[in-house]
Amino acid sequence: MSALLAGPRPAARRVGAGTWTFPSRPRLVRWASVVGRLEGEGPLAAGFDEGGRGRRRGPPRGAAAAAAGGRRAARRALDGLKGGPPELHLGGDLLDQNTPTHFAARDLDIPAFGLFSACATLTAGLAEAALAVDGGFCRRVLVTVSSHHETAERQYRFPIEFGHQRPATAQWTATAAAAFVVAGAEEGGADGVAIASATPGRVIDYGISDPYDMGSAMAPAAADTIERHLRDTGRSPRDYDAIVTGDLAEVGSELLRILLGERGIELGDRHEDCGLLLYDRRRHDVHAGGSGAGQCAAVFAARHLPALRAGRLRRVLLVATGALLSPTTYRQGESIPAVAHAVAFESGAPEAG
Amino acid sequence: MAKADERERRRYLELRSRVAPRHPRLRNAARAFAVGGLICAAGEGVMTYFMRLGLSADQAALPTAALLVLFGSVLTGLGVYDRWVRYAGMGASLPITGFANAIVAPAMEFRREGWVMGVGARMFEVAGPVIVFGTLASVVVGLGWYLLAGPAR
């Protein structure tokens, strides 16, 4: 017993006050994305594995429809994966009790944890998957994230066919899902996409209480996490090829730049926001931009991961942002707490030239 | 501080009001006027038709309202009416066709939860406040009228 207690301490895996590093460099070995009709008409259409299907009109969809995206993405990511299924499934979405995720998990037969960080669930899941793999608890972990426009509208706002005018700061919940398999370095190969570090976010509230302005509610959380990540790692935005935020959209992105500028951090041209990438905003009436847990997952899978695998991007910081509100809290006049978790990815592809 | 203090909150709200896009009030008002006007003109057309059939103005109002409700309901069922409101705001929400939309949309949405606890219980989720406060307002106005003008003779 005492010999066990006196055993060698593992290498330090935390830098600064709150950033985890993963010495074994877990790899993202598989990913797949599935999107709805509107999203499949956007500028990233070619990058999605499945998309553009679904009805233009018709009766409102039930809860089962919300589960379909995550399940299809998971099946695609797992299709042909050798060596048996992953040992753990971490997943989340936007609906009460994470039902879409659990309904999908019902068909997947993998031990599952439901996660909720609203639209920041993707990076929470990837960070925890890296933790489980780096810690030696799992060889492989499946991470799924999804959101579904119609069911989210029903839960958070109004019935889908009810007409109402949204303000210009409003965002459009995307119908999108993505699945990722995180595995040990031995499986991913030297040239895979590695999860290098992660900075879990603090819950931040700057007093925004307008559910039609979630970008403003989330920008301070993103600023806090980015600032802490850079301080912990001793890096600057220039050390990253891209700093990708989840879904701050137009207003939130501008506020993020201002907030970080006040703290002496210039994002410059390194920043892009998934909420401004998914839709063709001249054609799609999505106001300030897209949002939804599945959105940044699908955008990251369609746009950034292929570039990391090919080595066009060497190092990317993904900062998914979530507004932690419910219809009850905003009707009771509470402000909107928000959270942002950051995960840093590094390309293993050989340097060009 | 994870929860910003009062001063920080106020400063942030001010920052946000500088960054956030302005509500296009004039454009919205023009659209509401045009679409609301067209819906009301259609209503006038229907009412004139009923009066040509020999109904008095009072008698014609009821079938006119019923026909407009039918019109709003069918357009909601076809998935069109919410687009009108998104374009025209109150211009499409305020006429009785908009009221029909507010009843039919939740009825469609919650149909899956059953006829009783779905359609029956939740049909008035959106329009309920309009009915409650509409009734309340009519009581207040009626009471004011009574106090000013005395009992109806």
Mean pLDDT of B105-129: 94
pLDDT recorded at residue A53? 65
Domain A16-183 shares a fold with domain A192-347: yes
The torsion region of residue A136 among left (phi > 0), alpha (psi -120 to 50) and beta comes to left
Residue pair A162/B101 in contact by the 8 Å Cβ criterion: yes
The per-residue pLDDT for range A170-188, each reduced to its tens digit, is: 999 999 999 999 999 888 7
Q: H-type helices in A242-282, by residue range? A: 249-262
Q: Which residues have a Cβ under 8 Å from the Cβ of A268 and sit 6 or more positions away? A: A237, A238
Distances (CA, A) of A139 to A134, A188, A309: 9, 11, 21
Distance CA A59, CA B119 (A): 14
Distance CA A98, CA A29 (A): 25
pLDDT recorded at residue A1? 45
Residue with tokens 């603090």: A202
- Comparing C-alpha atoms, which of A59, A6, A77, A54 is closest to residue A298? A77
The per-residue pLDDT for range B48-102, each reduced to its tens digit, is: 999 999 999 999 999 999 999 999 999 999 999 999 999 999 999 999 999 999 9
Minimal CA separation from B74 to chain A, in Å: 12
Q: Do B109 and A160 touch (CB under 8 A)?
A: yes
Residue with tokens 């068909």: A107
Percent of chain A with pLDDT over 90: 84
Q: Do A163 and B86 touch (CB under 8 A)?
A: yes
Percent of chain A with pLDDT over 70: 94
List chain B residues with CB under 8 Å of A254. 19
Q: Which residues have a Cβ under 8 Å from the Cβ of A318 and sit 6 or more positions away? A: A122, A123, A126, A244, A246, A296, A300, A304, A342, A343, A344, A345
List chain B residues with CB under 8 Å of A167. 23
pLDDT recorded at residue B13? 95
- Say which amino acid occupies A310: A
CATH code for the part of the protein at A192-347: 3.40.47.40
pLDDT recorded at residue A62? 78
What is the average pLDDT score of chain A?
92
Task: Pull the structure tokens for residue A118.
Answer: 């609203």
Domain ranges of chain A: 16-183, 192-347
pLDDT surpassing 80 at residue A190: no
CATH code for the part of the protein at A16-183: 3.40.47.40
The per-residue pLDDT for range A194-224, each reduced to its tens digit, is: 999 999 999 999 999 999 999 999 999 999 9
Task: Pull the structure tokens for residue A252.
Answer: 């939130």
Q: Assign A101 to helix, strand or coil.
A: helix
Domain ranges of chain B: 26-149
Task: Pull the structure tokens for residue A153.
Answer: 């509208």
List chain B residues with CB under 8 Å of A255. 15-16, 19
Minimal CA separation from B75 to chain A, in Å: 10
pLDDT bin (cut points 50, 70, 90) of residue A7 is low
CA A271 distance to own-chain centroid: 16
pLDDT bin (cut points 50, 70, 90) of residue A114 is very high
pLDDT bin (cut points 50, 70, 90) of residue A56 is low
pLDDT surpassing 90 at residue A63: no
CA A38 distance to own-chain centroid: 20
- Say which amino acid occupies A332: Q
